[in-house]
Structures are given as structure tokens and as C-alpha cells.
Structure 1
Amino acid sequence: MDAGFARAREAAARMGAGDRLVLHRQDASAYTASAPFDVVLSVGATHAFGGLLPTLAAARAHLAPGGCVIVGEGFWERPPGTATLDVLEAAPDDYDDLATTVDRVVADGWVPVHGHVSTPEEWNDFEWAWSGATAQWALDHPEDPVSADVLEAAAEHRTGWLNGYRGTLGFVTLVLRPAPR
């Protein structure tokens, strides 16, 4: 992970933002800040807080007045079958359908001001990029002791996506603001 942090710092410096980048390596739920943020972002990481609503509670604690939360979460496009649940190591109630997901967010005191449901093409691009980049790294670093394991993990992920959750698990990104009290 330290190499990833170094690359992030280098990229930020190239973009002229190096003096504004602060990286933290810790349990996300233990993070504290000295000041609130205008934007709190959690895309594809609600598991770090125990799910969607606990993530929103944590985000609210860091949000400045007038700020927004950008949260990305999975949802069931259709009821999951056994193959999907097995691949994801999930239970049917780990996700809701899209309407129920949004209803839960609203009931928790949030107002969606924008949303985007990833299209099948976007989802395919993401999965091919993830598994492909991972496999490419392994192929380009055969001397690395974890290279074979990484290549196997990329293949397992690709197979799980193609034969398990493709077309069943959707992804929504919501821009949320706190509802007036």
C-alpha cells in the first residue's frame, strides 16, 4: 500500500495539488477530522462502516453545513440466484432493489439531489478494467512473490462477475444533502 500512497502523492504533485493532499492509512470508522468537509465521498466502500446507513451516519458527522455526501452502493437489479450469492458471499438482504435503497436513504434524513445508475456498459468497463489491470500487473511482475496469487485472484474475480453477479448486481451513485430538520 505504501507504493500506492507514493504514486498518489506523485500524481497530486504533478497536478499542483500536492500541498493539499492528506492521505490516511487507518480504519475508516476511526477517522476524525479537525474541521468538517464540504463533500464526503464513499463510493463502493460502505462495507467499511457496516453498510449504507452506518456509512451515511459517519458521513453526517464529518459534513459541513450546506455540504453533500456522494455515496455509491450496490443494489439488486433482480433477485439474486445462488450463483450470485455464492460469488459475492452475500445474503439476499445484503442489498435492496433501487427504489428501496433510495427510500431507506430518504427515511434516514437525506435528500437525493442527483443520482446515477451505472449502465451495463459502465459496469462492464469497470469490471474489465479491474480484472484486466490486476492481471496485467501480475504478468508484468512475474518475479514478485505474489504475482501468481494476484493473477489467480484476477481470474477468480472475472469468473465470478461473468458467471455470478453480472446483470444482477447494479450500482447507484447518489449525491445527498441532509433534509431540513
Structure 2
Amino acid sequence: MDLPRIFTIRESRHRIHNPIDEPKLDLLGRVIPLDAGTSLLDLACGSGEMLCRWARDHGVIGTGVDLSSVFTASARDRAAEFGVTDRVTFVQADAAGYVADTPVDITACIGATWIGGGLDGTIELLERSLRPGGLLLVGEPFWRRDPPDQETIEACHATTKADFRDLPGLVAHFGELGWDLVQMVLADQDSWDRYVAAQWFNIREWLDVNPGDEMAGQMRDELHTAPVTYVRYEREYLGWGVFVLKKR
């Protein structure tokens, strides 16, 4: 089992596979805060940037799990580049249902809550690997503005408006689930731009090298439509953040 190829084409040069940029990722590591020896399990870790950076900058140890063989290979390369291969391990596997052998200080799923069938299920999954009193990090979208119609909803990767909450509703929901929100770092439109616009560059670069590939037509169509869709809908209506939770 592996991640569909379209994702690795679209995000081939991404270090971070969500709309939190490097300064915000570093900020998140400072506001938690992190100490040397803090253990972390990162589910759907992508290319492992968070775990590798925090191992280098704060002495964190831990494991990242991701379905993509391409991304996990990139994560191992990054760990070697940062000199932290003795502190971090990356596993190519389905993160859905993955539970650590020993409870850890921090569990995280940054922007892939489908692994638990949605936000609630992912929080339940992450809690299974978390020591009592530990921190749970989850990345989740929310409505920045009320979507006016179904076209806007679908352009923001939702089926119905109820698929996402607004920010007050999301924060309230954490409490309903029995968790205190103790920190958060939110994407802004610039960090969204850096994440999404880099996809267009990756696609165009790939098309230039692979014009006869069986996926070239699909990727060409995406490059034709995605920029306008993004600036018209996603950039204006969809928010995203990393939320740090502690069990009540």
C-alpha cells in the first residue's frame, strides 16, 4: 500500500505538507515548549519536517508514520541531513490504527484527520498512544468565512458546510470532547499561499519533464484550474491551524 502518485507529484518538493510554514512550525515548537528527550509520535508525518526540526532544535525523540514511501524516504534523508538519525525513526505504513508500543509525551496528526475517520476519531486514535498528562497536536481546517453556496463548499474540499466548523465552533468542540485547548498556531493567507502555490510549481516542473506520462492530462487540467479556484474560494473561506490539547 502506498500513497496515490498524484500526491507525490503535487507535493514533490514540499518539506511541509500543510499550510503551516517554517516560521510557524518553529513557533509551535517554542510555545509548547519542548525539552530534550521529549518523545513524540507523528501520524501521517509526510516528509518528517516537524519531527526532524524538533529533534535538531529541541532534542526531541520519536517516530513518524506515513503511507507514502516517497515521503518517508525524504524524511529519512532529512534526518540524515540534520544529524538526528539516532533520535528519530520513520515507518512507511498506514497511520490509521497505528498505536505506539509505549505511551509518548506528545502525539500528533497535523492535517490528516481522515486517518481516524475525522477529527473525533483521530483524537481518539492519538490518545491511545499518549501518556497521562501528555499533549495532543491536531491540524484541522475551519471556515474563515461563512461559505455562501455549495460551489464554494465543494471548492474547499468539503461535501457540506457541516464538514468543517468555524473557529469558535471548533474550539468549543474540543471542550465537548473533554480536552482543554492550551495553545494554537494558525495558518494565515501567506502561509496558505506558500503551500498551495508551490504545488503549481511542482506540477509545471513535472509536466515539463513528463509530457507523455499517462497522468499528464490530469495534471495539466489541475494546473489550469487550481490557481483560480484557490484564490477565489480556498484563500478566502478556508482556515487551518494546529491545536494543542490536554486531556481534562
**TM-score, structure 1 normalization:** 0.85
Q: Distance in 1 between matches of 2:220 and 2:203?
A: 7
Q: 1:117 aligns with which of 186, 197, 217?
A: 186
Aligned residues of 2:141 and 2:238 also touching (Cα < 8 A): yes
| Equivalence for 2:243 | 174
- Once the two structures are superposed, the pairs formed by residues 6-45 of structure 1 within 5 Å of their partners are 6-45=73-112
Moved more, 1-10 or 146-155: 146-155
Q: 2:203 aligns with which of 134, 141, 162?
A: 134
Q: CA deviation at 1:69?
A: 1.2
In the superposition, relative to structure 1, how do residues 63 and 102 fare at CA in structure 2: closer, same or farther (>3 Å)?
A: same
Aligned residues of 2:107 and 2:135 also touching (Cα < 8 A): yes
The runs of 5 or more residues in structure 1 that have no matched partner are: none
| Equivalence for 2:125 | 58
Q: CA deviation at 1:119?
A: 1.6
The aligned length equals: 179
Provide, for residues 64-96 of structure 1, a one-character-per-residue CA deviation record: whole Å limited to 9, x for no partner.
223211111111112212222222242110011
| Equivalence for 2:169 | 100
Moved more, 73-82 or 17-26: 17-26
In the superposition, relative to structure 1, how do residues 32 and 111 fare at CA in structure 2: closer, same or farther (>3 Å)?
A: same
**TM-score, structure 2 normalization:** 0.64
Q: Which amino acid aligns with 2:126?
A: A
Percent sequence identity over matched residues? 28
Aligned residues of 2:72 and 2:92 also touching (Cα < 8 A): no
In the superposition, relative to structure 1, how do residues 137 and 123 fare at CA in structure 2: closer, same or farther (>3 Å)?
A: same
Moved more, 82-91 or 110-119: 82-91
Q: CA deviation at 1:143?
A: 6.2
In the superposition, relative to structure 1, how do residues 49 and 167 fare at CA in structure 2: closer, same or farther (>3 Å)?
A: same
CA RMSD in angstroms comes to: 2.2
